[in-house]
A and B are shown apart, each in its own frame.
Chain A
Amino acid sequence: MPLEFREVLVLRELDEMSYKQIAAVADLPLGTVMSRLARARKRLQQILASHTQTEVLS
């Protein structure tokens, strides 16, 4: 996964930061944080779907 996607995902899901905090830490506009997070999640789901056959994720 590209670094820019991983960055927002880690900050959001593991560090549990708000969008505003992520924007400050990653030096991004708030809108970019939101759209990048959406694309990152979509990508993650695709990756997970290809690796696992878990019903919930596919």
Chain B
Amino acid sequence: MSCQTTQEFIHAYVDGELDLARSLEVEQHMQECQVCASVYRNQTALRSAFKDSSLYHSAPAKLEERIRSSLRREAKSEAGRRAFSWRWLPAGAALAFVLLMAFIIWRTVPGLRPSGDDLLAQEIVSNHVRSLQLESHRADVISTDQHTVKPWFDGKLDFAPPVKDFSGQGFPLIGGRLEYLNNRAVAALIYQRQKHYINLYIWPAEQSNATGEVATKRQGYNLLHWTKSGMNYWAVSDLNAVELHEFARLVQEAQ
């Protein structure tokens, strides 16, 4: 074994980490080589110098306590951060605020929110369309006689709808129907104008004061709405607005 190899292995030899075969080789070389033997002696001297108790200082008890308590504090605050992160609080608050503002705007700005009348008009158009889908849907009681139609509602409604025939004016009464609109049972009267049908819905008004006609148009249907003598009236038809207004005027004058 050369000096270079020996001095390479000498540390492992000193540390007792060298395998037996190489240890023997190192020992054999050192018996012959004074240089390597002195390197070995230096190493063992160094090792024993490390064992000198003067190199070892035990930490003061206070230092140890300080380190341990700061470690505990850190571990505690770490756990706290994981359990609840305040970082998300502003984001959550901002989101809640935006949602609240959106809701308020939606409630207060007209046009964004469908009004009660809009929903009712939609309901009335749907009902009108459905009544015309089948001839049997058109009327529960088929009669051009107002004295037949009016008594038919007796016991079916908690109010007596005014029923008038306008055959003489070109709007003959076809019949009557029970309907459910605006969360209540209502009377539906059906009139005809040439090939056009008019549905007139009647139910008691919550306010007794009369209101003038309000005209709207939906899906190609004309709607007229008014309140008179404590009753709500909704007339709907594919008839043109002028003739529907004429019809409405007849109804209002008849009361």
Contact = CB atoms under 8 A, between A and B. Distances in A.
B47 interface: yes
B45 A41 contact: no
Interface in B18-72: 41-43, 45-47, 49-50
Given A14-B50, A57-B49, A45 B15 contact: no
Contacts of A56: 41-42, 45, 49
B161 to A, nearest CB: 94
Interface centre among A14, A34, A35, by most B CB within 10 Å? A34
Contact of A19 (B17, B41, B43, B45): B17
A18 interface: yes
A34 B50 contact: no
B158 interface: no
Contact of B50 (A13, A18, A38, A45): A13
Contact of B46 (A19, A34, A41): A41
Interface residues of B, number: 15
Given A34-B12, A41-B11, A13 B17 contact: no
B74 interface: no
Contacts of B12: 19, 34
A12 B7 CA distance: 18
B246 interface: no
A7 to B, nearest CB: 15
A45 B17 CA distance: 21
Interface in A3-49: 12-14, 18-19, 34-35, 37-38, 41, 44-45, 48
B45 A18 contact: no
A19 B9 CA distance: 13
A34 B17 CA distance: 9
Contact of B47 (A13, A19, A35, A48): A13
Contacts of A41: 11, 43, 46
Contacts of B118: none
B15 A19 contact: yes
Contacts of B8: 35, 38
Looking at B11, B12, B45, B50, the one whose CB has the most chain A CB atoms below 10 A away is B11
A45 B46 contact: yes
A57 B42 contact: yes
Given A38-B8, A38-B11, A44 B17 contact: no
6 contacts: A35-B8, A45-B46, A48-B46, A56-B45, A57-B45, A57-B46
Interface of A: 12-14, 18-19, 34-35, 37-38, 41, 44-45, 48, 56-57
Interface of B: 7-8, 10-12, 15, 17, 41-43, 45-47, 49-50
Given A38-B10, A57-B45, 6 more contacts: A12-B15, A19-B12, A37-B15, A44-B46, A56-B49, A57-B46
